[in-house]
Amino acid sequence: MTNNDIEIPNSTITRDTREISLPTENLYESVAIISKRANQISSSLKEELVTKLDEFASDHDNLEEIFENREQIEISKYYEGLPKPTIVAIEEFLSKKVYFRNPAKEESK
**Separation CA 43–CA 106 (nearest Å):** 29
The per-residue pLDDT string of the chain (109 residues; one tens digit each, 9 = 90 and over) reads 445 567 787 777 889 999 999 999 999 999 999 999 999 999 999 999 989 888 777 666 565 555 567 888 888 889 888 999 999 999 999 999 999 988 887 776 6
Around Cβ 104, how many Cβ atoms within 10 Å?
7
What's the whole-model pTM score?
Answer: 0.78
